[in-house]
Amino acid sequence: MNMFPEDFAWGASTAAYQIEGGWDADGKGESIWDAFCHRDDSSVFERHTGDVSCNSYHLWEEDLRCIEELGLTHYRLSLSWSRLLPDGTTGHVNQQGVRYYNQVLDGLLARGVTPMVTLYHFDLPQALQDRGGWQSADTPALFDAYARFCFGAFGDRVRLWITLNEPYVCAKLGHEDGLHAPGVRGAAYRVGHHMLRAHALAWHSYDAGYRRAQGGLVSMAINSDWAEPEDADSAEDAAAAARYLAFSLGWFAWPLFVSGDYPEVMRAAVDARLPRFSGVQPAVLGTADFFALNYYTARKVRSVGVDGGAPSMKKDLGAEGVVDPAWPLCGLPWLAVAPHGLRQLLKYIKATFNHPAVYITENGFAQTGPVLMEDGERAAFYRETVGEVAKAIEEDGVDVRGYFAWSLLDNFEWADGYGARFGLFHVDFSDDERARTMYRSGREYAAIISKHRSRSRAHRELTSS
């Protein structure tokens, strides 16, 4: 019988730009995603924007209702840097933004729900982008000041903090490929380095100034596919799969958990273009109190030759990930359904990063095309995925502390706009009221939570009697 720890975190996740709307309401400053979506040459699906989105800035009590209906024990949300600090600095604090997040946090706690708060989920204040953004060596210190402001304003009610969400995506899609805001190319390694420095500064600030009084934990949410050789008998493909993991998961996890530097295979491939950590900077190694993992899919990986020409991350990697034809796709061309990969990745994390406590901070299944409220395939996905997590805990000994579904609500899915729907609740974006209606998959997830929490309570009562 699958048994989860009694204090296991059953959650769902969202992000500020993706759900809040109110893009210029009550003194909020512009973010890079506001600017990116408002460009005349916007590449976002059907030129969608997050201007209103789910309107959670005004409908936050509806979100709390949804959280209660699911029976969540935890809820992961992000703070909008530019809603709190419109120009990105603590020189001007928007008290309306502070009030909004106070209401949400207090509402969660009043309902017995534990918040996990992300400080940065892709939405840098545009005022800081105008000063160089994440390419600037000054931005880590500005992030640290923002983090200290948030620890002081909200830390009395927050015990789980995420500094940065998916720095790989920010660096690769936003600063290498130009597909995400701010639409920059060729600066991924510098950006990733500055994000690691920003995280380390914030972690040390929390450790020195807030941990004793608040008792919280701080980490960074790292995304990764699972990677396995396309040809199981090929040494070249095995090496390519290892590189694939090093250039995604390892890029950010290796400095935090292993060596304080990038994986050796990255150093060997990238050499002078990969920045170095200076001894005068706060240490990066050891600045994660738990492993926060965002997992969506898996890849079969093969080795590929590297032609001449300008350097790029693709050439540095020397590997290509492909979808196994046996894995069904869900909505998006990159999103193969591979719950088994989550268990394999959890085992890899245990073996590679010294058996850390793990929170699965995002995992989900997309729907595209006509809305399907009776989404049986997604309901089955959650059953199978939770089963794989249970096996990782019981059979593989991975210290998994929680699982957060992406997402609570259908929302603005970055370059895919509203064309992809990950929500446990459908949001009617054609309705000014933004009505929220639970999908069948939401009912399934609620039933999973109820079943496992009941089992855990029964087990405790049996063993304590």
Q: Which residues are catalytic?
A: 166, 362
Pairing of strands 114-120, 160-165: parallel
> What end-to-end distance do the CA atoms of the chain give, in Å?
20
Beta bridge partners, 223, equal 294
| Residue 267 CB-half CA count within 13 A | 10
How far is the C-alpha of 46 from the C-alpha of 398, rounded, in Å? 42
Are the CB atoms for 455 and 3 separated by under 8 Å? yes
Q: Helix 56-70 crosses helix 95-110 at what angle (to 10 degrees)?
A: 10
* Continuous segment of H or E residues that includes residue 291: strand 291-294
- C-alpha Rg value of the chain to the nearest Å: 21
Quickly tell me which residue has 């920010």 as its tokens.
170
Q: Please give the structure tokens belonging to residue 273.
A: 């273009």
Considering only CA atoms, which of 178, 174, 156, 157 is closest in space to residue 165?
174
Residue-level length of the chain: 465
How far is the C-alpha of 197 from the C-alpha of 277, rounded, in Å? 9
Q: Please give the structure tokens belonging to residue 184.
A: 């920059």
Considering only CA atoms, which of 193, 183, 212 is closest in space to residue 251?
193
- Three-class secondary structure of residue 329 per DSSP: strand
* Continuous segment of H or E residues that includes residue 298: strand 298-303
Extended strands (E) in 27-143:
74-78, 114-120
How far is the C-alpha of 193 from the C-alpha of 261, rounded, in Å? 10
